Amino acid sequence: MNIVVCIKQVPDSAQIRVHPVTNTIMRQGVPTIINPYDLFSLEAALALRDMTGGTVTVLTMGPPMAEESLRKALGYGADRAVLLTDRFFAGSDTLATSYALSTAIAKLAEEAPIDMVFCGKQTIDGDTAQVGPGIACRLGLNQLTYVTAVDGLDAAAREITVQRRSEGGVQVLRTKLPVMVTMLEGSASIRRGTLPDLLRAARAPITVWNAAAAGIEDVQRCGLRGSPTVVKKVFAPKPRAEKAKLIDVKGRRDGEIAADTLAALFAALPKLEGDLARQAVQA
């Protein structure tokens, strides 16, 4: 099986700061990480490779520093890394990104056919969940989104079976390869690579492609020019004005306190009591 895993280097959202004066996101000095969902897809891909043989290629589009993420992915055990980097890619939205990535995957397929493409469900900086399906559409791959686990792979029949999270349940889906899978959290966590893997990763050459090398003929479809999405405004949400209320408990029984608190809550939020009652009946 030849598998491509698309990853993205994102700012660690746990450590992001909004500039107090300009209200813009301060990226400088904010540590970058591999998008967490991408690590679940990388682990799924590595596990499938370990089972059936073949190769795992990690692919990312980003600035030259995204090489760090690729090296890290190699350290987890990926076989090859490709970095798409070009000033033409700057400012890409999901349409332009999926175009660039799918073109690069098609280019990789010229060397050896690609059986599966894995992506994270979404990135934590864009939160759109559009790039995976975009790649699938452009390459004509079957698509399995919101996957929590790969149940099985029948290499002879070229069929994959997965669990997909859906509202109120789990769908078990089977489809033919080639396929594009986006992974959710909750599947197996990324493995800890061996020291030899890590040494290999530190030494490995990273394949760097600019637009032309990736086989992109029309750079008008890349970057800002190829992106119809316009960000109109970025702002930090204001902290809520309401303050927490202290409940006086001295000399009162638990039940009394609870009943009073509920009564005060229902009085403040008239719809809440009905909603809760309805949910209780449904449950």
Footprint of other proteins (CB under 8 A): 17, 20-21, 29, 31, 68, 75, 192-196, 198-199, 202-203
Nearer to other proteins, 52 or 194 (CB): 194
What does the buried/exposed string (b/e) look like for 31-42 if buried means 16 or more CB atoms within 10 Å of the residue's CB? Answer: ebbbbbbbbbbb
Which is nearer to other proteins, 196 or 255 (by Cβ)? 196
Quick one: 79 exposed, middle or buried, by C-beta within 10 A (0-12, 13-18, 19+)?
middle
Least distance CB 203 / other proteins (angstroms):
6
Which residue lies nearer to other proteins by CB, 33 or 129? 33
- Please tell me the total number of residues recorded for the chain in this structure: 283
Pair 116, 48: CB distance under 8 Å = yes
Task: Tell me how far, at minimum, the Cβ of 176 lies from other proteins, in Å.
Answer: 36
CA distance 210 to 216: 9
Q: Pick the closer one to other proteins by CB: 199 or 212.
A: 199
Q: How far is the CB of 46 from other proteins (least distance, A)?
A: 14
In the complex, the smallest distance separating the C-beta of residue 48 from other proteins, rounded to whole angstroms, is 20
CB contact at 8 A, 28 and 140: no
Least gap, CB of 201 to other proteins (angstroms): 8
Q: Which is nearer to other proteins, 171 or 194 (CB)?
A: 194
Q: Is the peptide bond between 237 and the residue preceding it cis, with omega within 30 degrees of 0? A: no
